[in-house]
Amino acid sequence: MTNRSTSRFRRAAAVIAGIAAASVALSGCLYAMIPEQTSRPSTTSAPDTEGVSEDLLPFYSQELEWTDCGPGFDCTDVTAPLDWENPSAGDITLSVVRHRAQGTPVGSLLTNPGGPGASGVDLVQNNLTFAVGADLIENYDVIGFDPRGVGASTAVTCYDAPEMDEYLYGIPAAARGTAEWEAELLEAHKGFAEACDANSGGILPYITTVNAARDMDLIRAVLGDTQLNYLGYSYGTFLGATYAKLYPEKAGRLVLDGAIDPAVPGLEVGATQALGFESALRAYMQDCLDSGECPFNGSVDEAMTDLGALLASVDRTPLKNGDGRLMGADSLMTGIIAALYSQDNWGYLTQALDEALQGDPGSAFFLADFYNGREDGVYIDNSTEAFRAYNCMDYPVEDDPAAEAAIDDKIAEGAPTIAPYWSGPDSCEVWPYPPTGTRGEITAEGAGPILVIGTTNDPATPYEWSESLADQLEEGVLITRVGEGHTGYNKGNTCVDDAVEAFLLDDVVPEDGLRCE
């Protein structure tokens, strides 16, 4: 994600962290829980085992045991095959939480917050009203789950907190861009990868989006649903589209918000995101200058030049934090990126940059820590580890120096402020297992209408990706949210919210190309 975890495109792809990570407002005001409810029995319909092969029947026929885990919530574990191609080779555990419908449920709604590596259990259990609107809470059993490798499910485990601090925040000894710098970072990536392999119990080869999509079908079935209703954000759109490709006949009402284009190669992913964040940074800077309280002056171009000078200064001379950590330019860039996920966070970014100009990295560290899941010196999730595991298995390794040079030139020209801190050695070069994923269009023939939401100045999943995915899908329906920030549903745009909820609740398909100002 940052600094020693930097990779040529995967550092860029790291910012597909989803709404449960950096796109939520840092004030925490969006974390409000719904009012307490009267407890009622935790029940599940009989598992849907129609058409299930004999070797998978023990998994699909399992009966869930639910336990109360908060007002209106219950929790369970689902047992899934470690290897879907060889179900007898062992199993893993998937952690699932359900918020029971306040009214009469119309079915289950699975959700995914993105990542890869964000916790769906945390999203639903701690941020329910941010994940879904009130009408969906009223009428659906809202389901959150930690995908394989993530959180409370059978998880990828790599480093302890001090080791992770060094990996994410450590300052390389060699000068940026030199062969020694590249070698130093690659060695750090190798140490991280070896630790993941040693500490994860043999699961790394099976941490893939295809397997996670198969796990979703299992969850659907053991909940007793004959079709999957799904709301996926950011990386969750790739997971949802993959599900529709694998199980078109089981795809119910799917909403993919902040889409990833599954056909874009990894190198191009990084370039598109770099340009997206540069665009978002310029929008922030204009707002900052207009506010009258900006630490920068002049035009947007002049202010961006001054921000570049700040980053270069921090790169030369890192800033010391009160806890003894040093902030280099990569960590400062991580903090900037974290704040750009939502316009609600721009005020925090102004504070962080103002303090950094005065030599105090405290607020910038707060932003970077928030992005990295670090709290009071402890990592509260394994999002970094799971993110790396998924991407290194999902994306084919690209070894084309000419293509890499062209991408670097594109980023340097289109994102000059971000470019110096964007690229680096590919961390997946040293991953212990070869990737099994492919890049290509997803049509999901036979899946029925699928809603795709794109926001026009979304930095993490640029709008063009939503346009492309909607075009690829046999029955893709594009909804455009005009505005800033990552993802579009439940962000205060009534036009988007009404269209999504009419589709999920009443199966009303909006007009393709609906534009919500």
pLDDT for res 400:
85
List, for residues 171-204, the tens digit of each pLDDT value: 999 999 999 999 999 999 999 999 999 999 999 9
pLDDT for res 44:
62
- Closest Cα to residue 77, out of 41, 111, 121? 121
Is 285 contained in some domain? no
List, for residues 234-273, the tens digit of each pLDDT value: 999 999 999 999 999 999 999 999 999 999 998 899 999 9
CATH number, domain containing residue 231: 3.40.50.1820
Give the H or E element holding residue 455: strand 450-457
Mean pLDDT, to the nearest integer, of 25-34?
A: 33
Q: Is 70 exceeded by the pLDDT of residue 71? A: yes
Under 8 Å between Cβ of 107 and 83: no
Active-site hit among 95, 234, 279, 423: 234
Mean pLDDT, to the nearest integer, of 441-459?
A: 97
Is 190 contained in some domain? no
Omega of the bond leading into 116 within 30 degrees of 0 (cis): yes
| Alpha helix segments (H runs only) across 21-73 | 57-60
DSSP character at residue 84: T
List, for residues 134-179, the tens digit of each pLDDT value: 999 999 999 999 999 999 999 999 999 999 999 999 999 999 999 9
Is 329 contained in some domain? no
List, for residues 33-66, the tens digit of each pLDDT value: 333 444 444 456 799 999 999 999 999 999 999 9
Is 212 contained in some domain? yes
Mean pLDDT, to the nearest integer, of 421-441?
A: 94
CA distance 278 to 23: 16
Distances (CA, A) of 123 to 127, 230, 270: 5, 14, 26
Under 8 Å between Cβ of 39 and 66: no
Distances (CA, A) of 101 to 33, 72, 73, 128, 227: 14, 8, 10, 12, 18
Is 484 contained in some domain? yes
pLDDT for res 43:
53
Is 486 one of the annotated active-site residues of the chain?
yes
Query: Mean pLDDT score of the chain, rounded to an integer?
Result: 91
With H, G, I as helix, E, B as strand and everything else as coil, classify residue 373: coil
Q: Is 80 exceeded by the pLDDT of residue 440? A: yes
Lowest mean pLDDT among 29-33, 78-82, 187-191, 435-439: 29-33
List, for residues 94-139, the tens digit of each pLDDT value: 999 999 999 888 999 999 999 999 999 999 999 999 999 999 999 9
Q: Quick one: angle between helices 329-340 and 362-372, nearest 10? A: 70
pLDDT for res 380:
96
**Cβ atoms < 10 Å from Cβ of 377:** 11
Under 8 Å between Cβ of 452 and 469: yes
Active-site hit among 330, 426, 458, 497: 458
Is 237 contained in some domain? yes
C-alpha triplet 482, 485, 491: angle, nearest 5°: 75
Is 376 contained in some domain? no
Is 189 one of the annotated active-site residues of the chain?
no
Question: What is the residue range of 26's domain?
Answer: 13-154+205-263+439-516
Is 332 contained in some domain? no
pLDDT for res 39:
40
Distances (CA, A) of 70 to 39, 40, 77, 98: 9, 12, 16, 10
List, for residues 349-408, the tens digit of each pLDDT value: 999 999 999 999 999 999 999 999 999 999 999 999 999 999 999 999 888 889 889 999
313's tokens: 């200064």
Distances (CA, A) of 149 to 95, 154, 384: 11, 5, 11
Number of domains within the chain: 1
Is 234 one of the annotated active-site residues of the chain?
yes
pLDDT for res 399:
80
Residue 24: which pLDDT band, with cuts at 50, 70 and 90? Answer: very low
The four Cα atoms 33, 35, 36, 37 give a dihedral, to 10 degrees, of -120
SS (H, E, C) 471-492: HHCCCEEEEEEEEECCCCCCCC
